[in-house]
Chains A and B, each alone.
Chain A
Amino acid sequence: MALISVKALTRVFDASKPWLNRVIERRGKSFLTAVSDVDFEVAERSTYALVGESGSGKSTIGRMLVGLLTPTSGTVEINGVNLATETDARKIDVIRSDIQMIFQDPFASLNPRWRVGDIIVEPVVARGGDASGLAEKLLEQVGLSALDAGKFPHEFSGGQRQRICIARALSSEPKLIVCDEPTSALDVSVQAQVLNLMSDLKDNYGLTYVLISHDLTVVQHMADRIGVLYLGRLVEEASPEDLFARTKHPYTKMLLEAAPRMDGFGREAELPEGEIPDPINPPTGCAFHPRCPISTDICRTERPPMRSLNKTRVACHLAEE
């Protein structure tokens, strides 16, 4: 059974200027569509990766999954509970303790005035649980020392802080952890350690990960299923093998060609053409058509629906098996 089920998820931000400026400049409100009509499901104990360029809406989806943002339309159901509309406080409480998040910047995600031990057990203490000895146990689980519980965050390096964030995320014994670029602020050598730790913990605790990243190598290594986002829309979803070997969507092809490779010596890197369009005025039809090498008339007028080709889901008029 799917742990997360996302249906027609859309989030629109009000990007208007203050009303006085609007009156003077005689402009209406402007809206930014960060996420548009996204559907996907995440199976229990799997890792689902969301990839895309900056501004593709991947972080916004992550925030809606954990309930930090409410969807403009569409639904996010976790274990059948929709956090945005659920009114039963007991159910909300249960689901909240099932969801945790690891943030991108380990220097901002730990309160500098709190001791590490208090930070780690906060999710438990906040709902009145017993947390004695928990911080020490979790610190050892993530490869730090139990004595570190009495220290302050500034005494740790970036990689160690990310381990503390992971320990905190584990403290409420969650089922789902949403990881928003968990390694992009870390050195490459430390990235691997943190990712390995995350894989180990996934097996030990039976976790489900939603991994938000722009780094295709990280995703290829970790994910069971990958969703590629472009301008707030899901353009392709496949297993890593299919995505890298049998790429269907021209945008995914462009991303893969632009990614740095170890065997790429002497290879002229194919730089992506153009830039991600303005999400306030998105292109008509397929959002990718202005940059697409194979676009035709239908791409300019009709938004491509999500189609299933073999085990891949792809939103492109021209994609073939």
Chain B
Amino acid sequence: MTDMPLKPAQQSRLRIFLDSDIFYMFKKSPVAILSTIVVAILVLSAVFAPLIAPTNPFDPASLNLMNGFTGPMTPNAFTGDSFLLGTDDQGRDVFSTILYGMRVSLFVGVAAVLFAMVLGITLGLISGYVGGWTETIIMRTADVQLTFPSILVAMLIFGVAKGFTPVEYRDQMAIWVLILAIGLSDWVQFARVVRGATLVEKRKEYVEAARLIGRTPFAIMLRHILPNVLSPVLVIATISLALAIIAEATLSFLGVGAPATQPSLGTLIRIGQGFLFSGEWWILLFPAVTLLVLALSVNLLGDWLRDALNPRLR
């Protein structure tokens, strides 16, 4: 790329964004603004959890078992310590565990979506561009996978992968296996959308112009077609993120996800539901509400993005 005449256009990138239709529609949509703010707060507090959280719930030295089952905003009967959202059975501050749990949930969700995205885009591009038997095999596999509930696929992959990991690494590997399982159960919709868009783009003359000068199929797919099929992918990725967070929580709630040493929101809910009927409602309620707010606002954002990028709904 030559750099001399490109400067003016690049400097005004922000300006172009602020003038764009998308940003205008964003300003007009209270739901979009609110959900963006909520997502931003949750993501930031998850990222900076070690700075915000009053205690490190996974440092055994900082825990006092006497603080167990302290209610929210009430001083503990033995130690006199008070916790914003109470403590669980081991005296861990619920607020801190939520912050750290959200880290795990978001990390698994984002990583799983990225993995599904890379896999889905690659397979979608190849099947759309190459066609023939390659396309048949990839897309029929996708169709078959769609007939199984994705949580079932994820549990299957999780179970198989766990069987192959040595016992001593299981807790460490659990997070990565979780990402693999959710990602593998989620690639289909990326592949379908990208294949459809690729079929449209590859007929366009700019692709023929690139073939004409002897560009390889790989270069054409990567440099010409990929940039033109990405905008629907963005929408699916946002909606998938909410689904991946919920899928992770579901797996963790079922006890096949994040281990108790690295609890996600789903693990916290599973731990909390054991105490619900003995009166310690806060251990369950606060992680559950956090999960609800997180998934809902990501989902609302995705819905808004889908509508905003669809010219037929304007």
Chain A interface (Cβ < 8 Å from any Cβ of B): 66-68, 92-93, 96-97, 99-101, 103-105, 108-115, 117-118, 122-123, 126-127, 131-133, 135-136, 146-147, 149-151, 168, 172
Question: Which residues between 185 and 216 of chain B lie within 8 Å of chain A, taking CB atoms?
Answer: 204-206, 208-215
Question: Which of B2-10, B19-27, B233-241, B259-267 lies at the interface?
Answer: B2-10
Question: Bound complex: CA of A135 vs CA of B2, how far in Å?
Answer: 9
Closest CB of chain A to B223's CB: distance in Å? 8
Given contacts A103-B208, A111-B228, A127 and B214 within 8 Å (CB-CB): yes
Task: Give the size category of B's interface with A.
Answer: 20 to 34
Nearest residue, chain B, Cβ from A148: B5
Question: Which residues between 150 and 208 of chain B lie within 8 Å of chain A, taking CB atoms?
Answer: 204-206, 208
Closest CB of chain A to B20's CB: distance in Å? 13
Nearest residue, chain A, Cβ from B210: A122
Question: Bound complex: CA of A146 vs CA of B8, how far in Å?
Answer: 13
For residue B206, which residues in chain A have a CB less than 8 angstroms away from its CB? Answer: 108-111
Q: Which of B210, B212, B224, B228 contacts A99 (CB 8 A)?
A: B212
* Inter-subunit contact A68/B6 (CB<8 Å): no
Q: Which of B5, B208, B213, B228 contacts A126 (CB 8 A)?
A: B213
* Inter-subunit contact B212/A66 (CB<8 Å): yes
* Inter-subunit contact B209/A109 (CB<8 Å): yes
The yes or no answer to B30 lying at the interface (CB within 8 A) is no
Question: Bound complex: CA of A97 vs CA of B212, how far in Å?
Answer: 9
For residue A66, which residues in chain B have a CB less than 8 angstroms away from its CB? Answer: 212
* Inter-subunit contact A149/B5 (CB<8 Å): yes
Nearest residue, chain B, Cβ from A135: B2
Closest CB of chain A to B179's CB: distance in Å? 30
For residue B205, which residues in chain A have a CB less than 8 angstroms away from its CB? Answer: 103-105, 108-109
Question: Bound complex: CA of A110 vs CA of B210, how far in Å?
Answer: 10
* Inter-subunit contact B209/A96 (CB<8 Å): no
* Inter-subunit contact B211/A149 (CB<8 Å): no
Closest CB of chain B to A141's CB: distance in Å? 16
Binary contact track B223-248/A, C-beta < 8 Å → 1, others 0: 01001100000000000000000000
Question: Bound complex: CA of A26 vs CA of B74, how far in Å?
Answer: 81
The yes or no answer to B14 lying at the interface (CB within 8 A) is no
* Inter-subunit contact A101/B209 (CB<8 Å): yes
Q: Which of B8, B213, B215 has the most CB of A within 10 A?
A: B213
* Inter-subunit contact A126/B215 (CB<8 Å): yes
Given contacts A136-B5, A147-B5, A150-B5, A68 and B211 within 8 Å (CB-CB): yes
Given contacts A108-B206, A112-B228, A118-B1, A101 and B212 within 8 Å (CB-CB): yes
For residue B6, which residues in chain A have a CB less than 8 angstroms away from its CB? Answer: 115, 117, 149-150
Apart from A101-B209, A115-B9, A172-B213, what are 9 other A-B pairs with CB-CB below 8 Å?
Answer: A67-B212, A96-B213, A103-B205, A103-B209, A109-B204, A109-B205, A109-B206, A111-B206, A150-B5
Closest CB of chain B to A88's CB: distance in Å? 14
Closest A-B pairs by Cβ, 4 of them:
A109-B205, A113-B227, A103-B205, A150-B6
Binary contact track B107-132/A, C-beta < 8 Å → 1, others 0: 00000000000000000000000000
For residue B208, which residues in chain A have a CB less than 8 angstroms away from its CB? Answer: 68, 101, 103, 109
Q: Which of B2, B209, B219, B224 contacts A149 (CB 8 A)?
A: B2
Nearest residue, chain B, Cβ from A93: B214
Question: Bound complex: CA of A111 vs CA of B228, how far in Å?
Answer: 8
Q: Which of B1, B5, B208, B210 has the most CB of A within 10 A?
A: B5
Question: Bound complex: CA of A247 vs CA of B24, how far in Å?
Answer: 62
Question: Bound complex: CA of A110 vs CA of B208, how far in Å?
Answer: 10
For residue B211, which residues in chain A have a CB less than 8 angstroms away from its CB? Answer: 68
Nearest residue, chain B, Cβ from A151: B9
